Structure formats: structure tokens, C-alpha cells
Amino acid sequence: MPIRFEKVSHVYSDGSPFTYAALKEIDLEIAEGKLTAIIGATGSGKSTLVQHLNALLLPSNGKVEVLDRIISSDEKPTKLKSLRKDVGLVFQFPEYQLFEETILKDVAFGPKNFEFTEEEANAKAKKALAMVNIDPSYYEKSPLDLSGGQKRRVAIAGILAMDPKIIVLDEPTAGLDPQGAKAMMELFKELNTKYGKTIIIVSHDMEHVFNYCDDVVVLEHGSVRCHLSVDQFFKDSKWCEELHIIPPFVIQAKQMLKAKGIEIMADVKTVDDLAYEIAKKVKN
């Protein structure tokens, strides 16, 4: 079943001089089994929105439906733990959450909190570490001795090890090198297609949104500006123009070609495909 936001508002520090309405009556339905991107300018409420998914933040008004559960402002916190196993949330710069002596222990920390035995937790941790490409030779090292990118991968493994049904990632590739970021996005795509996980990614990178995501939700000043499939979103150049987004390279190339009188209708994603389409066009 889909994730549903109904008239969800969130007000920070209500009743103090610092009060701020970060979300305003959000109505949103995120499809199950898809890879959805959430984009928007900084401060538009993306992080606030995703923290409602595992009830780290409760709506000030309205309700969120996730996996048969309803999260509203009067939710009892005791019932939330099992929700957090099913909705894994990876924060912006998750490397700051590492604390155990060894990498394996740190990744097994999550499953252990959710009542898995030591062996089960370790098995899950090893599987998750393999997914993020951390070699077994690292298992007994301290997570603090890793490079930034490796730390990030270990931290993400810490959430994957809980085997959540829904995985939410807040800017997972921020600050990674292009190669690392690409590998990361490919991992999420694989989790989505191979393991059927519903994945929600907050991102600023249009190339990633274009190449890996199915749907896109645009937030603006705490409201949903639009919610479209990625193909529709980029097909119509008005969205990128209105939102001041620089479109992905392939789309830019297509637009330039169109201006020169070569219109390519097919939905191409990669430079190779584009080249192929151009060649086809030129031959005809």
C-alpha cells in the first residue's frame, strides 16, 4: 500500500519566537515499490518531510499513513519502534552515527536493537556490508579509521542490515566523489528492482534523479509544487525553467538539438542512447 500524507503540517518550536511552519498541509501519495526522488531548494522542507516517515517527527496537524500505520500528532511513542524497523531512515551525513569499536559491530547494532540474536544480527550485517562493497578484511577495523566515502557506506549498511521495507535516504551522495556517488545510486536502484524495496531519496543531483528514479516530488516553501514521473517532469522544459533547475545533460542536449531543428522523440537516458538516436535521425 502506498505511503499517504493527508493535510500534514509541521511547525517547529510552536509558541516561541522561533516558530516556523516547515510543512504546510501536504497531500501526497508515494507509490509502493518505486524509487521516488524528493527535490526542492534548500529549506523547502525535504528533511522535515522524510522524518515523518518513521515518526521521528510527528505531524503538528494531519496524518501520515505508512505500512498500515497511522502517524498523527497524538501518537504514543511506544508503538513506534517496530515502525522504525520497517522504515529505515538514513540521515544527511550518516557517518556521524558510527560509534562501535568495529565496523561489523556497528552495522549489527541496528538489527540487535530490533530483537535479533547476535548471530542473526552479524549475518545481516555481513550481508549489508557486502551490498555496499565493504570487503570482509575491514570487518574488525574501527569505523573511525575509514575514509569519508567508506564511512558513508558503512553507515548506510547499518540501516540496510535492519532489512527495512521502505528505505529513506536524505541526500545520500552529498560530498561523495562522482564514482562513489554513482555506485551508491546503482545500489539503491538494485535494492529497488532486485529486492522490491520502496525507496525515497532526497537529492539535489538532477543527473541522479533523471537516471535512477521513477517519480519526482518537488517541494517549495513547505508545499508540494508537483508530483510527476521523472520522464514527464523532464520532458516538459517548463518545470526546469520555473524551478530554476539545470536539466540533466542528455535533456539539455536534446533541447539544443531541437533548437537546431533535430527533434528526438524517444525517451533516452544515456549519452550512448542519445548518440544512437541522433545517428538514426541523420541516416534517414
Partner 1 sequence: MGSFTLGKYLPLNSCIHKLDPRAKIIAMLIVLIAIFLPAGWLGYGLIALCVVSLIFLAKLSLKFVLKAMKPMMFMMVFLLVVNIFVIKTGFVIVSLGSFAIYSDAFIQTLYIVVRLVLMIMITTALTATTKPLDLTLGIEDLLKPFARFKVPSHEIAMLISIALRFIPDLIEETQRIMKAQTSRGVDLKEGKLKEKIMAILSLIVPLFVSAFQRAEDLANAMEARGYAPGAARTRYKVLKMERNDYILLAASGALVIALIILSIL
Ligand X SMILES: Nc1ncnc2c1ncn2[C@@H]1O[C@H](COP(=O)(O)OP(=O)(O)OP(=O)(O)O)[C@@H](O)[C@H]1O
Residue 271 and residue 207 in contact, taking contact as beta carbons nearer than 8 Å? no
| Bridge partners, 114 (sequence order) | none
Q: Return d(Cα 50, Cα 37) in angstroms, integer.
A: 11
Does residue 44 touch ligand X according to CB under 6 A? yes
* CA 235/CA 195 separation, integer angstroms: 29
* Segment contacting Mg ion by CB under 5 A, of 26-34, 40-48, 110-118, 238-246: 40-48
Q: Are 73 and 90 in contact (CB under 8 A)?
A: no
Contact between 20 and ligand X by CB under 6 A: the answer reads: yes
**Three-state DSSP class for residue 228:** strand
Tell me: does residue 47 bind Mg ion (CB under 5 A). Answer: yes
Asked whether position 13 contacts ligand X by CB under 6 A, the answer is yes
In the set 88, 149, 180, 247, which binds partner 1 (CB under 8 A)? Answer: 88
Task: Say whether 232 sits in a helix, a strand or coil.
Answer: helix
Piece in contact with ligand X (CB under 6 A), picked from 16-24, 65-73, 83-91, 108-116 = 16-24
51 touches Mg ion (CB under 5 A): no
Nearer to ligand X, 66 or 218 (CB): 218
What are the Cα distances from residue 137, in Å, to 23, 104, 141, 154, 163?
45, 11, 8, 14, 23
Q: Which of 36, 46, 84, 209 binds ligand X (CB under 6 A)?
A: 46
Tallying the residues shown for the chain, one arrives at 284
State in angstroms the smallest separation of the CB of 259 from partner 1: 46
What residues line the site for ligand X (CB under 6 A)?
12-13, 18, 20, 22, 40, 42-48
What residues line the site for Mg ion (CB under 5 A)?
47
